[in-house]
Amino acid sequence: MPDKNKKPKEIEDLPGVGEAIAEKLREAGYIDIMSLAVASPKDVADAAEIGENVAAKIIINARKAADIGNFESGDEILEKRKVIKRLTTGSKALDELLGGGVETAAITEFFGEFASGKTQIMHQLSVNATLPYDKGGLEGHTLFIDTENTFRPERIVQMAKALGLDPMETLKKIHVARAYNSSHQILLVEKAYELTEKYPVRLLIVDSLTAHFRAEYTGRGTLAERQQLLNKHMHDLLRFGDIYNAAIAVTNQVAARPDVFFGDPTTSVGGNIVGHASTYRVYLRKSKGGKRIARLIDSPHLPEGEVIINVTENGITDA
């Protein structure tokens, strides 16, 4: 029996959570009280095979135990944001555009047409995440969810060598999971919680975030369903980033629109959901040679702007 005067520490200490429910919740990735506190009743109900009302009560108890759910004042948020770290992209110009690099506890979306450099940037971020903080790294491991089979260890080796890192040691810190369809992709984020028990995961990559969803949910009838699932997926990712102070980087392929200088390039894929849940959005387009133009869009506190980066054998660099 849980001791009423003791603050719950494990999920089974929560009123309403017995052994059987705790086991189902763990399997679904709810491994600690915080993960339950920020969950939705529907997700918890589905995971534990219980009613939504019961799930809602469990969540309320988790919130009480986790000391969340209160309003925070601006100065408290400022204090919390001090733990936020920045991961270098390899290009000083792109880092500056992002306010110092790819932010932890946030989603950064790189979108652009085919071969615009999205996957190259994902490889570079995975390598850079292993660097010490004073070199722009996160001193951590990466979980790389690969939906298009474009992860290349050879590319990691090239980039690691260019930074003077041990290629094999670097590869050991990048955990790659192929996602075969959109449900599998969603499930892999839950598995990410298990990986954190073994490794200090500080970067979670989904390359590509949208490809499976786009391929599977075609036609008008399924659009709402697709957006709903994508929305849930984005929130799962953000929750992981929040709990582990990890950076979340995702890619999204969009069709080129040579007819407009710059419109909303995501309208054609109905990608509004992705745009709303992403904290930072970088639009990539090809320029001459290995050069790419990166443009920051809709950032909550940074001005829009454009920089040029270079994709070379050594990885992402300034142009």
Q: How far is the CB of 142 from Mg ion (least distance, A)?
A: 16
**224 contacts which partner out of ligand ADP, Mg ion, none, CB within 5 to 8 A by kind?**
none
Classify strands 106-112 and 247-253 as parallel, antiparallel or unpaired.
parallel
Contact 128, 92 (CB under 8 A): no
Question: Residue 250 interacts with ligand ADP (CB under 6 A)?
Answer: no
Tokens 């009123």: give the residue. Answer: 15
From the list 34-42, 129-137, 146-154, 285-293, the region that binds Mg ion by CB under 5 A is 146-154
From the list 63-71, 145-153, 183-191, 193-201, the region that binds Mg ion by CB under 5 A is 145-153
The contacts of residue 271 (CB under 8 Å, 6+ apart) are 111, 210, 252, 254
Q: How far is the CB of 169 from ligand ADP (least distance, A)?
A: 21
Figure out which of the listed residues 88, 116, 119, 252 binds Mg ion, where binding follows CB under 5 A: 119
Give CA 87 to chain center in angstroms. Answer: 13
- Torsion angle of C-alpha atoms 268, 89, 238, 117, degrees rounded to 10: 30
Question: Residue 120 interacts with Mg ion (CB under 5 A)?
Answer: no
Give CA 36 to chain center in angstroms. Answer: 19
**115 contacts which partner out of ligand ADP, Mg ion, none, CB within 5 to 8 A by kind?**
ligand ADP
From the list 14-22, 53-61, 98-106, 305-313, the region that binds ligand ADP by CB under 6 A is 305-313
Figure out which of the listed residues 227, 245, 272, 312 binds ligand ADP, where binding follows CB under 6 A: 312
Classify strands 247-253 and 201-207 as parallel, antiparallel or unpaired.
parallel
Contact 30, 11 (CB under 8 A): yes
Rounded-to-integer distance, Cα 204 and Cα 190, Å = 12
**245 contacts which partner out of Mg ion, ligand ADP, none, CB within 5 to 8 A by kind?**
none
Figure out which of the listed residues 35, 88, 91, 120 binds ligand ADP, where binding follows CB under 6 A: 120
Residues near ligand ADP (CB under 6 A) are 112, 114-120, 290, 311-313
